[in-house]
Structure 1
Amino acid sequence: MSDWTKFRDAIEADVENMKLGEEAKQELTKNLALNVMPAVDAWIGKLSAGLIEESKEETGWCKIRDAVVLPYALRAIAYVGKQALAKTMEKTVTA
């Protein structure tokens, strides 16, 4: 076996045997809600604005896709993610 294969197998074995405690899960949930989601929201805002701006040069379905479908789909996905994190934190995360 090559060194890479041994290294890969060792990592896979570690991940397979890894157990996360409740505290680690709560910390991950907090970090996702407080740090990751605001960055995702900012990214979606910029991407949506760019799509809407580009839609002005499009026609037909591409105009509808860029002006409405993609921006609202991205915002909906972010909204669902934020709501799921909020509900999870409400039920599980302690101060």
Structure 2
Amino acid sequence: MSKWTEVRDGLVAALDVKEVTESAKEKMLAGLATDGMDAMSEVADKFVEQVQAQASEETGWCAIRDRFVLPLLVNGTLWAIKLVLAKSATAENR
């Protein structure tokens, strides 16, 4: 058996969860909504900044893509993720 297979099998065994409690789900959502979104937002902001800076060197479709399309897709996706996490975190939405 290869080393990768042993590592993979070890990870699968370590992550084998028998029961997921409500508090575990709430902690996971809270962590994603705060620290997870902060990290994703930082990465997205850097990406958008660099892509928009490169747009001045592009022409035609590539300029439109870099200046508008990619930043809108990235920011729109982050907004949707934040919305879903916020809606999922409230107990009234069950």
The equivalent of 1:63 in structure 2 is 63
- Structure with higher RCO (Cα < 8 A, 6+ apart): 1
Q: Residues 43 and 9 (structure 1 numbering): CA distance in 2 closer, same or farther, change over 3 Å?
A: closer
The amino acid of 2:64's aligned partner reads I
Q: Residues 72 and 4 (structure 1 numbering): CA distance in 2 closer, same or farther, change over 3 Å?
A: closer
Structure 1: segments with no counterpart, 5+ residues: none
Taking structure 1 as the reference length, what is the TM-score of the superposition?
0.80
The amino acid of 1:56's aligned partner reads S
The equivalent of 2:76 in structure 1 is 76
Taking structure 2 as the reference length, what is the TM-score of the superposition?
0.80
- Greater Cα shift, 40-49 or 4-13: 4-13
Which residues in structure 2 correspond to 1:2-13 (within 5 Å)? 5=5, 8-9=8-9, 11-12=11-12
4+ residue runs over 6 A deviation: none
Q: Residues 63 and 33 (structure 1 numbering): CA distance in 2 closer, same or farther, change over 3 Å?
A: same
CA RMSD of aligned residues (A): 2.3
Structure 2: segments with no counterpart, 5+ residues: none
For these two proteins, the number of residue pairs brought into alignment is 92
- Separation of aligned partners in 1, 2:76 and 2:64: 17
Taking every aligned residue pair, what percent have the same amino acid on both sides?
Answer: 34
